[in-house]
Each structure stands twice: as C-alpha cells, then as structure tokens.
Amino acid sequence: MKLWLNAIATQSAPKILVTVATVLGSGPREPGAKMLVTADELFDTIGGGHLEMKATEIARSMLAMPESQLAAQRRFERFPLGPSLGQCCGGVVHLAFERVQADSLAYLNCLNQRWRLGQDSWRLLALDSAQEPSLCDANGTHLTGPAWPAGLPVQIDTSNPCHVLTDAAGQRWLLDSCLAYRAHLMLFGAGHVGAAIVRAMADLPCRITWVDEREDMFSTRLAANVTVEATDTPEALIVKAAPGTSFLVLTHSHALDEKLSEHILRLPDVGWFGLIGSQTKRVQFERRLRERGIPATRLNDMVCPIGLPGIHGKQPAVIAASVVAQLLQVWEEHEIHQQKELSRVLARIGAEASQHVSAAAQTEKMVADERHLLAKR
C-alpha cells in the first residue's frame, strides 16, 4: 500500500494530508506526491528540505485549530522554491492541505480496496470548503462520496496526476489521482533470498505475489504490497498472470525452477524473467529447455545470473539489493517506453484530426464556391 494511504488506515491521531497539486518548473517531488502529518509524526514525503518543513508547520498549525474552522480543514498554498525557501530547484509548487476526517471511512475503504485490486481512482477534493472528498474512476464515473458538483467539467487527463479545477461559482477543486502500481512481480521461493527481496521491496511502487508451497516459510509480518500464494501448483499462477508481469524464480528445487522457467518462457508477453543461479546452471537449463521446444530467442530473455553486474556478494541482503535495483531499472525503462509510445499515438491522433479538419474546411470551401456559381446562374 502507498505509505500515506497505509498511514491513514493505521493512525488514529488527528492528521493532515498534504498533496503536491501543481509544479511549475523544477520541484523536489512530482504532482500527486503526498505526506501525512500528525502532531508527532510524518509519513511519506513531498521531497524534504525547507518546503517540507514549511508544509509540516502549516499542517500542525491546522491541527491546533478548532475543527469547526475552515482554516483547520483546507488550505491551498503557493511556494516559490527559490526566492522564499532558498531551494535550488527554483520552481513554484502549490500544496493542498486537507484534514482527514474520522467519518471518511467508507471513502478510504473504497480507495484501499480499489488500490489492492489494481484499479485506478481519482479523488475530487473541495479546496474552498470542508466537503468530504469524492471518488471516481478514470472515466469520471462516481464511486463514493458527494456527487460531482453541477457545473464542474469532468476534465480527467490520465497523463496528468493532478488538476486544479474551478467551477462556475469560482470555487476551486483538486482532482487528484490515486493510481494502482503498474509493476507486478511474481516471486517464486520463500527461502532466505526470497524473503530478503520481499523485505527490500516493502516500500517500493510495485505489487508482489509471493509463491511457495511451504506455507510455514512465509513471514508473519508482510508489507501491504505483498500477496501470499501457498500452492502446490505454482505453474497455474503463471498461466493466469496478466501480460507484462515480471517473474523471479528462486525456489529450493532445481527441478521446480526448471518447470517454472518453461511455463514462463511459453508466455507471449513477459515483462522480465530472472532465474537465480550461476552461468553453469544457465547452460544446463538452456539445453534442457531447448529439448522441450523453447526457441533460442525466448531463452535470450531469461536473465541468469540475476543482479547488477559488479556486485558479487552472496549474502541474501546483498543479492536482494542488487536484484531490486535491477528490477527498478527494468520497470523505469518500461515506463519511459510506454510514455514515448503514448506521445507518438497522441501526436498521430492530433495529426490525423488536423488533416481531417483541413479536408473538411476544403470541402466546405468547395461547396461554398459551387453555391456561389449556382447563385450567379
């Protein structure tokens, strides 16, 4: 679970949620980044430094006010990072402050459930009143909370995590994304290395399905982004995996590693596949998998040994650090590629629309000219 969302669910103390609403120029965090503030603690971060210190001061001053005051419920503040805060980012950041109410349980439960199911949600927050937030999906369909305000346009741009909207009465609203983690790792093996990797990924923006037939091997304390699958047929999970899932195989059995590898390499769309082992193990597996009909092009997609080059330590924590860094590189590269593809598609659609408008205008001119000639006759 996202750190701020998890903290809201577990902290009973009065709290203020701070959201980076907009960033003009360079800022320490991106729009949509959040921090939860109580009188004594901070959860998550909007980037640290002087900006975070000022935001914390404002949030705690709100907590000290009577709840009945609007200033204790909502704030929307502009921070020039260079002139007023002395941060070298130099941009301008707008922060939204909201008191998290005790009666927001239904809305938060809905948000948590959708996040765990991998579903994107959008929060609509009134910045000039204390109205409870609403939830909708990416299509603008209302999910929970007050209805969408009359006269407020539905302007959900999924490529932009935050929008500040203004209704006909001049009231401001924050439309704020709560997007599910895209990266999904299916990890097979609950031994020392598997457990170390799961621990290392506890606070990372990903979902983990942790698989082993030995139920007693799993930790009793799991991060919110981890789902355990204790099963004697782990290959069935591979068959059902969503396209783009990443796989990491490090079980206690070479025979099981080989069986799982075969199932993974037969999938048409794999995000990444890593297999723990030496170069010798790789050579043996390649020979056996070729005999089972796995083509060389697919075998080239199998990462074995795993981890970043130049890190040779065998301790579970060292292996975990190396593999997690490797996965982050893969996922970020994939995200950049997706953004580029999206930009290409949008550019093509824009060009086609422009051509269509141009053709329509030309046709309209031809019709007008024809009418003019007919009128002369």
Q: How far apart are CA 287 and CA 130, in angstroms?
A: 66
pLDDT in tens, the chain (377 residues): 467 887 887 778 899 999 999 999 888 899 999 999 999 999 999 988 889 999 999 999 999 999 889 999 999 999 988 765 555 566 899 999 999 987 777 778 888 888 877 788 999 999 999 888 989 887 888 888 888 888 787 767 777 888 898 888 889 999 998 888 889 999 999 999 999 999 999 989 899 999 999 999 998 888 888 999 999 999 999 999 999 999 999 999 999 999 999 999 999 999 999 999 999 999 999 999 999 999 999 999 999 999 999 999 999 999 999 999 999 999 999 878 766 665 565 566 656 555 654 555 565 655 455 555 444 44
* Contact by Cβ (8 Å): 17, 27: no
Element (H, E) at 93: strand 92-99
pLDDT at 88: 57
Q: Which of 70, 72, 51, 76 is nearest to 61 (CA)?
A: 72
Alpha-helical regions (H) of the chain: 3-10, 49-63, 105-116, 192-200, 234-240, 254-265, 279-291, 296-299, 316-376
Quote the pTM value: 0.73
SS (H, E, C) 235-249: HHHHHHCCCCCEEEE
Q: Name the token pair of 308.
A: 């970043």
